[in-house]
Chains A and B, each alone.
Chain A
Amino acid sequence: MVMFSLTPVLDVCTQQQEGKELTKEEKQRLRKEKKQQKKSKEKKDDKPSRDSEKEKKPASAASPAPQTPTQPPAQKAAPAPVPVPASETPSAADKPAKSKAELKAERRARQEAERASKGKKGDVGPQAAPGKPKAPPSELQPVVKRLPEHVQVDNPEVLKKLAKKLERQQVYGCAPNCCGCIPLRSDYGYKVSLFSHLHQYSRKAPLTQQLGIPSTVIHPAIVRLGLQYSQGIVAGSNARSVALLHAFKQVIRDYTTPPNEELSRDLVNRLKPYISFLNQCRPLSASMGNAIKYIKKEISNIPSQCKEEEAKRKLLNCIDCYINEKIVLAAKAIAKYSIEKISDGDVILVYGCSSLVNHILCEAFEKNRKFRVIVVDSRPRLEGREALRRLVQKGINCTYVLISAVSYILPEVSKVFLGAHALLANGYVMSRVGTSQIALVAKAFNVPVLVCCETYKFCERVQTDSFVSNELDDPDDLIVTRTGTTQLEHWQEVPSLGLLNLVYDVTPPDFVDLVITDLGMIPCTSVPVVLRVKNVDQ
């Protein structure tokens, strides 16, 4: 890396002093080299070299513009962005060109020093990386993949960047000088250290506190949706996606293209702040992410000569089709496949409240299959009660237990039907916390476990544990009042006490026997195949 840069920089320098234009490749190489030099220089805290580096910069004073956009992303690792563009011009102004030979000598000396220090650092770098994935990876080669920002909540620099990003997100429809930004929702309470990289919000501090009341910055339908998410009124993967799509339909209906803008580009930009608002209210689910990708693709594919009314009609139509195909019809297809698997006399175990599993059981009951259901429930959400209500309303014979009794009840069970929040690319099933427990115990009892999941919930992520990416719910939900006393009322005052309210967990594919999707009944390991086929289709 260090070797090749010598000659091009010299060439660049000579060209510059001759006043010729730089070619693109040379500019790029120059930029890359500067990046690396800056990184290593900041680590060494080497003042003199920085000054001489700034002096070297007049060489690139001809191209300050293309440099500035690349500088911010280049400084991801560096804590404080070096004010390069600002320093360039003054140094360029007060320093006439040094002689060629002097510059060459300086550069060579610097690069030798760097090479020597990098040789030492390179050994330490890769070893440190697996142990501390959060350490600034500038010490390693630049090809390393960084953790996404939403998973680095305990890193204050990342938080600062996120806040700045939210501020900079231009929200359309508001005056340019008003603070049209989405406020940052602050975390609440002490977080358990294993999960300190995730956000933990309190339901009593909604994001709407910081927004103005007649919300002009964010479309009212989206504010309403965000509130419903954060208060748990709309919960469950399918419900959230459907509600999101309906809200987007409303946004599209109320949208008018500003003059000199194209609908295909402007509408996508307008949706961005809404999506970050919804993300702050409650982290987006995999199904919502896929739905958003689909909508953005559809919007960008609108031809530019299409009239606004027709474009809007097309988009609304697309959304309706998506809901119909991926959710409603998929549920019908999955029900059809599952009914083949349900035989008379079955005892089916379900966990929590999955809209799809409830739908399947109701359909099977209508087709006169004779079975009974055991509903397993867990705190603090107690969603099983809602599932119980819906099944009993249909007339299905149900039993209700808490998850602590699952190993006592399993000898009676013939099949386990589970719903999924998302299916990951390595075959793992992400679902409500407690699902992997049920699958594990079922496996121990040799009871078949069937997971029902629509294909639009398949996601490209890969995860093998429940720590790296999860959601932390309001810890105050765990507090319960029995016979007038609330033991955990003052949990915040006890310094060593942390309340953890996890939402999701991940089940390995060894515990899952079959996945029933709208494409058919596939084994867990075929998920990447489905994803690949889907991508080819699109």
Chain B
Amino acid sequence: MELQAVLMAAGGGSRMTDLTYNTPKAMLPVGNKPLMWYPLNLLERMGFEEVIVITTKEVQKMMSTDPKMKLDVKMKLDVVCIQEDGDMGTADALRHIQQKIKTDILVVSCDLITDVALHEVVDLFRAHNATLAMLMSKAHEFTETVPGQKGKKKTAEQRDFVGVDQSGKRLLFMANEADLEDGLSIRKSIMRKHPRMHIKTGLVDAHLYCLKKAVVDFLADNKSISSIRGELVPYLVRKQFSKTTNCPKIKDDAEDQNQKKNDGSTNHGHSSCLSFSLDRSCWNDHRGDMSEAYHGGKLRCYVHIMDEGPCYRVNTLAAYIEANRLAPKLFEEVPVHPSAVISERCQMGSDSYIGAMCQIADKTSIKRSTIGNSTTVKEKVKVANSIIMHGVTIEEGCNIQGSVICSNAVIGRGADLKYCLVGNGQQIEPEGKDHWHEHTP
């Protein structure tokens, strides 16, 4: 077996607590499908047959009852539950499942929506015998107004500085603005080996990583690393250029081939054979200095940067709204679910998506919106640019614009909501006028 897929679905959605108050992030509906359906669909399309899903008990329960998950996902899901308290980082989760991991792994986050050709990332991993291969994408501007926030959203996000070499594939440097106090410092050893480096800041990390099995074993020994993105990846990127005597993982490649050969792992002795062939090969990944291919380094990190194509990480409210707008188009979702009951005098725009078992009454107008399952919309309601989740009841005469209404909410008669965020199970009183940019958790 070449790669095992691991889906991290235990995240709490700390940056969109309003939405995840009642529903765990992995099961938030995007285009009427649970969020974790998207990475699972990506893995399935690529040909994976089994996925290890690390999640909480709550999500596991919801997964087993959700029809979309049961019908559409044909892969075998090996669900591993961990505690919900949020202390477990992604690397801790990997350590937790170390026993199940027999070969190199592909770690995917549950909030990734993309249609990247995964072979681009995996080919880098295979061809260069890399320790880490990851996916990044050019950041897209969010154009939709976010409900519950007055004024334009300030970019309070801290930037990531990513340094790549001339070919744009080899990852040389990665740091977050928060870790850099007085400026960006780059070691001389890196500059000597790679005199031309491109540093990019506008990139989104897709949180999709191909890691060698040796890294998981390393994590088991080093319990101090708890997050893949925050700690493990910068550590690996730095270790590429450190002197080999210090790096603990180097020994596994060279020594293992002298030891047991019965593990069946394809990494065994591979690097020594590769160096034997590379010695005779007339290829070098750089030119201009006297060192051999890869500068003799055994640890290599690669990145594939997507120029075009959708790649979203749904971890903020703005991203959630954007994803709802674009994800159904990606997957050619049927606009109206067959079991929805829509009366003839309803005006439905082409950009709208209606979920299963909805009831839409007369004289309603639905434009550019997503309506979840089992939602009831009564007469004379105008819904525009909104996201309405499952089980919501909207009474007559309401006017909803640019809002997000969470599950099981009830919007009273004649309410007028603009750019609001209505939490789970909330009730908006009838004739509530001119709610503007409000935020009811």
Contact = CB atoms under 8 A, between A and B. Distances in A.
Interface of A: 206, 208-209, 211-216, 220-221, 223-224, 227-228, 231-236, 238-240, 242-243, 246, 250, 253-254, 352-353, 355, 381, 383, 385-387, 389, 392-393
Nearest to B5: A214
Contacts of B264: 253-254
Interface stretch (B238-246, B279-287, B295-303, B392-400): B279-287
Contacts of A240: 277, 281
A389 B290 contact: yes
Contacts of B273: 242-243, 246
Given A224-B127, A239-B277, A243-B277, 5 more contacts: A212-B46, A234-B281, A235-B282, A239-B281, A246-B277
Interface string B46-60: 111100000000000
Contact of A223 (B2, B5, B46, B277): B2
B117 A209 contact: yes
Contact of A214 (B47, B277, B284): B47
Contacts of A224: 126-127, 129, 266
Contact of A220 (B2, B47, B128, B283): B2
Contacts of A242: 273, 276-277, 280
B184 interface: no
B280 A231 contact: no
B153 to A, nearest CB: 36
A386 B282 contact: yes
Nearest to B263: A253
Contacts of B277: 234, 239-240, 242-243, 246
B100 interface: no
Nearest to A328: B276
When A and B form their complex, which 10 residue pairs have the shortest distance between CB atoms, in order from nearest? A212-B47, A353-B282, A239-B281, A220-B2, A246-B273, A355-B280, A239-B280, A243-B277, A213-B46, A227-B127
Contact of A386 (B47, B48, B283): B283
A211 B122 CA distance: 12
Contacts of B117: 209
Main SS class of interface, A: helix
Given A213-B46, A215-B2, A386 B261 contact: no
B119 A206 contact: yes
B270 interface: yes
6 contacts: A211-B119, A214-B5, A224-B127, A234-B277, A234-B278, A243-B274
Nearest to A356: B280
A213 B278 contact: no
A207 B265 CA distance: 24
Given A213-B122, A254-B264, A386 B46 contact: no
A236 B282 contact: yes
A492 to B, nearest CB: 21
Given A239-B281, A355-B280, A208 B48 contact: no
A392 B280 contact: no
A282 to B, nearest CB: 13
Contacts of B305: none
Nearest to B265: A254
Nearest to B210: A213
A254 B270 CA distance: 14
Nearest to A229: B127
A208 B266 contact: no
B3 A227 contact: no
Nearest to A323: B276
Contacts of A223: 2, 126
Contacts of B2: 213-216, 220, 223
B123 A236 contact: no
B118 interface: yes
The residue in A209, A220, A383 that gathers the most chain B C-beta atoms within 10 A of its C-beta is A220
B102 to A, nearest CB: 12
A220 B284 CA distance: 23
Contacts of A215: 2
Given A224-B126, A234-B278, A250-B266, A214 B283 contact: no
Contacts of A355: 279-282
Given A213-B119, A223-B126, A385-B287, A253 B282 contact: no
B180 interface: no
Given A254-B264, A386-B284, A213 B127 contact: no
Nearest to A247: B273
Nearest to B281: A239
B270 A232 contact: no
A213 B48 contact: yes
Given A233-B128, A392-B290, A214 B118 contact: no
B266 A232 contact: no
A232 B282 CA distance: 9
Given A212-B46, A228-B127, A233 B281 contact: yes
A327 to B, nearest CB: 8
B1 interface: yes
A93 to B, nearest CB: 45
A206 B261 CA distance: 31
A393 B281 contact: no
A352 to B, nearest CB: 7
Contacts of A238: 280
Nearest to A309: B262
Contact of A227 (B49, B123, B266): B123
A250 B270 contact: yes
A246 B266 CA distance: 11
Contacts of A389: 284, 290
Interface in B1-30: 1-5
Contacts of B279: 239, 355
Contacts of B123: 206, 208, 227
Contact of A216 (B1, B270, B280, B287): B1
A206 B122 CA distance: 12
A420 to B, nearest CB: 14
Contacts of B129: 224
Contacts of B266: 220-221, 224, 250, 254
A389 B295 CA distance: 13
